[in-house]
Amino acid sequence: MVTAKVALGWMHTARFLTTAAQLHHLPALDVPEIAFVGRSNAGKSTCINTLTQQKQLAFASKKPGRTQHINLFSLGKQGVQDAVLADLPGYGYAAVPKDDKIRWQRVMANYLVTRENLTGVVMLCDPRHGLTELDDILLDVIRPRVEQGLKFLVLLTKADKLTRAEGAKALSIARLQAGGGETRLFSALKRQGVEEVAQLLWHWSHPPDRPVSGDAVPGAPAVDSDVGEIPASIPQRP
């Protein structure tokens, strides 16, 4: 188990990579990508800022619908990118015109189904509203990939607004609905769950069979040794 200090240090290396309004504008990457999804205003951007210990990395706002593009953030020490976080626009915001909603739901579904380096999905949910119909649809979309190993966490946000008993109840309901994935309470305000989530995401991004660059495991075969081609280099920020 990685220590909270190491996991939080790794999270703190986050820096802006790119923003895209459409899927084909996203760069092809070969490092693990972890997507933050959920209803508008659930607290996705705030969660990313809290985990990375950076106030304004992702734009958070009281006004729902603040995030309108897919924003990618690189993680990794000393300029070495070893994972990417993706902040996705929220869904279900009533004031968004219907056509835009449908367009966005398609982009989101396509992203979740086709993004090759997608390793994990963090679904944020305000426990006072529970998992909604749109959350369920999204769970259906990713289910086949979860069965193939996609990691999955339901994060019940704004836990500071719940009593202990309400929190425990929300957790057990979400566990039933999420079926299989991990479920946690999270509060950006009280920093509840921050260390555990950072550690979990570190493990998702550093599976034992994927040695960290420059950190060869003695006796382990080289990565891709049977593929016979040099892995594509990872684009670096200038």
Ligand X SMILES: Nc1nc2c(ncn2[C@@H]2O[C@H](COP(=O)(O)OP(=O)(O)OP(=O)(O)O)[C@@H](O)[C@H]2O)c(=O)[nH]1
Instruction: Give dist(CA 192, CA 87) in Å, integer.
Output: 20
Question: Of Mg ion, ligand X, none, which one does residue 187 interact with (CB within 5 to 8 Å by kind)?
Answer: ligand X
Give min distance, CB of 117 to Mg ion, in A.
22
Question: Of ligand X, Mg ion, none, which one does residue 43 interact with (CB within 5 to 8 Å by kind)?
Answer: ligand X
Question: Of Mg ion, ligand X, none, which one does residue 196 interact with (CB within 5 to 8 Å by kind)?
Answer: none
- Positions touching Mg ion (CB under 5 A) are 44-45, 66-67
Give min distance, CB of 148 to ligand X, in A.
27
Cβ distance to ligand X smaller for residue 61 or 213:
61
Whose CA is closest to 36, among 22, 49, 54?
49
Instruction: Give dist(CA 131, CA 156) in Å, integer.
Output: 9
Question: Of ligand X, Mg ion, none, which one does residue 189 interact with (CB within 5 to 8 Å by kind)?
Answer: ligand X
Cβ distance to ligand X smaller for residue 160 or 182:
160
C-alpha distances in Å from residue 212, one per residue of 3, 31, 203, 209, 237? 16, 11, 12, 10, 19
- Positions touching ligand X (CB under 6 A) are 38, 40-46, 60-62, 64-67, 89-90, 157-158, 160-161, 187-189
Give min distance, CB of 50 to ligand X, in A.
8
